[in-house]
Chains A and B, each alone.
Chain A
């Protein structure tokens, strides 16, 4: 933003200061929103195609070539649908919830560096901002559930709150090791700290564990399938958006998908080296190559999301919470000393092995401790 402002000021073009300021503010917003909304639209297509193939179906293939315009058709259909508000609903809150669910999803994008030197706002507390804002969407979820005056909606909203509160803790703790290694909260600083061969944090033992924990928590936080309890359609109709139709429903879907993308962006920034990659420092086309790297990595994370959604069944509520508090939280706590071992031991190789060993022992120990009681094998008297 500042860079654009200075560029406009120094370009010599006759332009009042307020216009340059407005342009500097609006330009990144337009770019980022347009880019990610397009990505969102076609992500729904990619997701439906991939899920279809996983289930040996073809997926959408009617609108446009290979169904490419399906998102357009869906959007138009939802746009012209009747908007139904339940009679007993709290109309103001009911209206505000779908708006608020989209805002935090987009706000996170302000601190995600999409390309080299391109981040809408380089906050020095970027990661903190991202983590804090992304959690705010649960407020909208709860508003939706509460305002609908519907038992299923409220159940879904309560589940959503319990889930996000539980998974926020291991998520932040998983991010802590990255902050320790980078020594900064600025997102660009974190990306720059991952330079060098095998510099990405995911290549370190503690980084890999933190990546898995963070990715799991991100999936839980945006309520994607193994953790989609707030909208579990086989249990509570559609959860918190049971009473939403038309474009409000589309906004919920959009909020969810955009949140999934932006959380993927945060994951890429924290663990996968952001926009770094061969060629990202080239003089003229560096920004383009680095943007390519960022979106390639983002695509990878999104594919992992879709793949997980197509594979794993939804967990139960007790399993969901037990997994967060009994496995992810202790593991992310142990991950911090493991990172310290890696950092402070004199030899990098020894540090590498020591931290890997500590984490392996912790993982096996936690699984053992959490293994449920094995039931005795039943024997039946009259059946051999």
Chain B
């Protein structure tokens, strides 16, 4: 035995007394009492913290980035997003949402909507004080409350917002409704894919080994200049498509589209037209053109291509999946199916 009986008890008392007195008089008492007094004091949120999605606008709220392409609505795992496309008085659909509701009582804050959005229009907020008195209507966020400026986005997530801005500036998208992007002639696969790559493309089809793919990806990243690119999501659909082991015939077919496809331009490439009208315009064209006319004409790249690229890929048999056009919904899917069946390709 060392010391005297009860020494340990007294030592314990000394420790607690030191804590007690220290919490009042210590120079570092702020660090001692490390609890944040929440409503008054707030912990700085980590930049990557996320709660519910919001819609980004540039400048004024009517300059909304969202085009109502419904990719997020389709991809949302708990299906908490509801979008209705706006239209002008003549009934011509417009490139913006009329209704954009997010049920935040259902939202699981996964951020997939922000990941899949082709227009960087929906981003994850970090505002967590969203409690309401009602359980139903009050927990549905409507369009006006979802709108937040790009400045706000920069304020809450500076790094991410800078990266997004840099990418948007570099890859200045032509207004989807205005210009009809011509398929660039050149390497076979590039014709299938978007001419203005926003997202990682799949490696050229003649590269087969894993190492070659990696090398290609590295080169691709260096061209794009955006740090590491994450493979999945946008490319997964291409990657999972059963590709012919020898891609030469298909690629050749895509590379040399029928002469007629460019002859009369692409008058249907206007998302304001409804499907029947578009099909009417493309009536006498090639299969690829008719397929393209069935698309939603948003070039939203939800399918992994732009509209022309997806049509070419379907026509060439590179993919057989007709469900990829998210904005076109069932209408497009059924038309594509019919067209391909008529052509005997399905």
A interface residue numbers (CB < 8 A to B):
50, 53-58, 61, 307-308, 310-312, 363-364, 366-368, 371
B19 at the interface (CB under 8 A from A): yes
Residues of B within 8 A of A368 (CB): 1
A371 touches B1 (CB 8 A): yes
Closest to A308 in B: B13
A53 touches B12 (CB 8 A): no
B24 at the interface (CB under 8 A from A): yes
Nearest Cβ distance between residue A67 and chain B, in whole angstroms?
Answer: 12
A56 touches B32 (CB 8 A): yes
Beta-carbon contacts of B4-37 to A below 8 Å, as 1s and 0s?
Answer: 1100010011011101100110000000111101
A54 touches B20 (CB 8 A): yes
Closest to B10 in A: A311
The one of A50, A312, A364 that contacts B20, using a Cβ cutoff of 8 Å: A50
Residues of A within 8 A of B24 (CB): 53
B5 touches A53 (CB 8 A): no
Contact status of A54 and B16, CB under 8 A, knowing A312-B9, A363-B5: yes
Q: Which 4 pairs between the two chains have the least Cβ-Cβ distance?
A: A367-B5, A311-B16, A53-B23, A54-B16
A53 touches B19 (CB 8 A): yes
A56 touches B34 (CB 8 A): yes
Residues of B within 8 A of A50 (CB): 20
Residues of B within 8 A of A58 (CB): 33, 35, 37
Residues of A within 8 A of B1 (CB): 367-368, 371
Closest to A52 in B: B23
Secondary structure at the A interface, as helix, strand, loop or mixed, is helix
Nearest Cβ distance between residue A361 and chain B, in whole angstroms?
Answer: 12
A371–B9 Cα gap in the complex (Å)? 16
Closest to B14 in A: A311
B16 touches A310 (CB 8 A): yes
Residues of B within 8 A of A54 (CB): 16, 19-20
A10–B103 Cα gap in the complex (Å)? 80
Nearest Cβ distance between residue B243 and chain A, in whole angstroms?
Answer: 58
A310–B13 Cα gap in the complex (Å)? 9
Contact status of A307 and B13, CB under 8 A, knowing A57-B35, A58-B33, A367-B1: yes
B interface residue numbers (CB < 8 A to A):
1, 4-5, 9, 12-13, 15-17, 19-20, 23-24, 32-35, 37
B16 touches A307 (CB 8 A): yes
A58–B40 Cα gap in the complex (Å)? 14
Residues of A within 8 A of B5 (CB): 363-364, 366-367
Residues of A within 8 A of B16 (CB): 54, 307, 310-311
Closest to A56 in B: B32
Nearest Cβ distance between residue B2 and chain A, in whole angstroms?
Answer: 12
Closest to B8 in A: A312
29 pairs, CB–CB < 8 Å, chain A vs chain B: A53-B19, A53-B20, A53-B23, A54-B19, A54-B20, A55-B19, A56-B19, A56-B23, A56-B32, A56-B34, A57-B35, A58-B37, A307-B13, A307-B16, A307-B17, A308-B13, A310-B20, A311-B9, A311-B12, A311-B13, A311-B15, A312-B9, A312-B12, A364-B4, A364-B5, A366-B5, A367-B1, A368-B1, A371-B1
Closest to B17 in A: A307
Residues of A within 8 A of B9 (CB): 311-312
Residues of A within 8 A of B33 (CB): 56-58
Residues of A within 8 A of B32 (CB): 56
A168–B323 Cα gap in the complex (Å)? 83
Nearest Cβ distance between residue A50 and chain B, in whole angstroms?
Answer: 7
Interface centre among B9, B16, B33 (most CB of A within 10 A): B16
Residues of A within 8 A of B34 (CB): 56
Closest to A312 in B: B12
A371–B24 Cα gap in the complex (Å)? 39
Interface centre among A307, A311, A312, A368 (most CB of B within 10 A): A311
A43–B127 Cα gap in the complex (Å)? 40
Residues of A within 8 A of B23 (CB): 53, 56
A368–B1 Cα gap in the complex (Å)? 9
Residues of B within 8 A of A308 (CB): 13
A54–B14 Cα gap in the complex (Å)? 11
Closest to B31 in A: A56
Nearest Cβ distance between residue A227 and chain B, in whole angstroms?
Answer: 13
Residues of B within 8 A of A53 (CB): 19-20, 23-24
A308–B16 Cα gap in the complex (Å)? 9
Residues of B within 8 A of A371 (CB): 1
Closest to B15 in A: A311
Interface centre among B20, B24, B35 (most CB of A within 10 A): B20
A53–B33 Cα gap in the complex (Å)? 8
Nearest Cβ distance between residue B13 and chain A, in whole angstroms?
Answer: 5
Closest to B21 in A: A53
**Given A53-B24, A312-B12, 11 more pairs with CB closer than 8 A:** A53-B20, A54-B16, A56-B19, A56-B33, A56-B34, A57-B33, A58-B33, A307-B16, A310-B20, A311-B9, A312-B9
Residues of B within 8 A of A307 (CB): 13, 16-17
A92–B33 Cα gap in the complex (Å)? 47
A61–B36 Cα gap in the complex (Å)? 13
Nearest Cβ distance between residue A134 and chain B, in whole angstroms?
Answer: 25
A363–B4 Cα gap in the complex (Å)? 10
A61–B37 Cα gap in the complex (Å)? 10
A371–B17 Cα gap in the complex (Å)? 28
Closest to B39 in A: A62
Residues of A within 8 A of B37 (CB): 58, 61
